[in-house]
Homo-oligomer: A and B are copies of this chain.
Amino acid sequence: MVQIPKQQPAPVPAPDAPNSPPDSVPQGTPHSVPTSADVARLAGVSRATVSYVLNNTSAVRISEPTRRRVHAAAKELGYVPHAAARSLRAGHSRMVLMPTPQIAVGPLFSEFINELQWALSRFDYTVVQYGSLGLTGEEAARAWAELRPVAVLAPDAIALGARGVAVLKRSGAKAVFTLGPQRADGAHALLMDQRLVGRAAAAHLLAQGRRRIGVIVPEEPGLEAFSQPRLDGVRTAVRTVEGCSVAELPLAYTEDSAARLVDGWRSLGLDGVFAYNDEYAMLLMRALQDEGITVPDDIAVVGADDLMLARLLRPRLSSVRIELPSGRSLAELVDRVVREPGGRAEVHDVLGASVVHRESS
C-alpha cells in the first residue's frame, strides 16, 4: 500500500507560492470569488444584463457591443455562472443525476453511459454521477434529493421503491427513471430485462441438442440483480422442452472456487453451461481444460457480453451479445419527460440479446 504522509510541511505564506497562477493569467479579486455584480461593474451594465447575456436569454434583445463587453468582463474576472444559484432562481435545475452502481461495469455499459452523458449535454443538461455508497431505497433518494436534480436515472439495484421515487419527486425531480431488470412504482422504467440474456443462452444450448444445463451464479455480492433473472430466463426457456434440467452452480471469481466446482463436475452429468458472462466463462473453461474436460465435446459453454476475450479463447467462446439503446434516443426520452412530466409511468424495453455462435458450443 502506498502511504500518504499525515503530517504536512508547515504551510508557506502566500505571496510567491508556486500555486499562485502565473502572471499571464488574469487575477480578478484575489481572495474572493468574482460575482455577476463584479462583471456588471466592469462592463458598465446592470446585473440583469449580465444575466441575460451569459444565460443566452433570447427573450431580451441586447446589442452586440454590450454582449461583447459583458463576455470580455466575465473573461477578465474569471467569472463563471453558478449553476446552483441559477437553478434556485429558475426554480429548477438542469442536473441529471446518474447514481452509479458499486459494481465495476463492463466496457459495453461504460460506453453506453458515456454516450448518454454526451447526448444529454447536447440538450443542455449537466449530468453528474454519484456513488451510491451502499445506500438504498428512501435513504439513497434523500441523499440524491439534496442535489435537487431535475431528472434521475437510477440503477434499480438501489431499490428506490415507491417511497424513494416519491421523495425525489417531492424534491422537484420531474423525471425519475429506473435502469435495470426491475421496476419501481411511480418511476419510468428503462427495463433491462436480464431474463432475455438467460433465455437466449438456453435457446442456443437447446438448439445444439444440450439438455442438462448448468447455470453459473456468481457468489460476489451485488450481482444478484443480474444473475437471478438470467437464471430465471434459462428456467423459462427449458420449461417446455421434454427431459430438460437446470442446475444452479455457485462460483466465486477465484481459481480456487473454479477448481472446487470442476472437481465434482463429471458427477453433475451436465452437457451445457451458461457461464453468467465471458469472464466467469473463461475462469470455468480454464478449470475444465486443466481437468481434461473438453469443450465443447464434453460440455458446451456460453458466456455473455461478447468481449474481445471471447474471441481470444481456444475454443473461441460463444457469447450472448447484449444491445443497449443509443444514448441519443434515451436523451430524447429523458428530455421529453422533463418537459411533459404529467404522463403515465412509461416502460421501455431497452435490452436486446442474441447469441454469437463460436466454437465452444
Contacts and interface: CB of A to CB of B under 8 A. Distances in A.
Interface of A: 1-6, 8-9, 11-14, 17-22, 25, 28, 33-34, 77-85, 87-88, 93, 100, 102, 104-105, 107, 110-111, 113-114, 117-118, 121, 126-131, 133-134, 142-143, 145-148, 162-163, 165-167, 169-172, 185-188, 253-255, 279, 282-283, 286, 308-309, 311-312, 314, 323-326, 329-330, 332-333, 336, 340, 342-346, 348-352
Contacts of A110: 104-105
Contacts of A309: 279, 282, 309
Contacts of A129: 100, 128-131
Given A185-B18, A325-B1, A344-B19, A131 B146 contact: no
B342 A14 contact: yes
B342 A13 contact: yes
Given A84-B148, A330-B4, A33 B172 contact: yes
A217 to B, nearest CB: 18
Nearest to A101: B114
A3 to B, nearest CB: 7
B80 A145 contact: yes
A12 B282 CA distance: 49
Given A162-B25, A166-B78, A17 B344 contact: yes
A159 to B, nearest CB: 15
B100 A2 contact: no
A56 to B, nearest CB: 14
Contact of A80 (B18, B104, B142, B282): B142
Contact of A21 (B87, B148, B185, B343): B185
Nearest to A145: B80
Contacts of A344: 9, 11-12, 17-19
Contacts of A12: 342-344
Contacts of A5: 348
Nearest to A329: B4
23 contacts: A2-B349, A4-B348, A8-B340, A9-B344, A11-B344, A17-B345, A18-B185, A18-B345, A19-B344, A21-B166, A21-B185, A33-B170, A77-B170, A82-B146, A82-B148, A100-B129, A105-B110, A117-B133, A121-B133, A127-B130, A128-B147, A255-B312, A286-B312
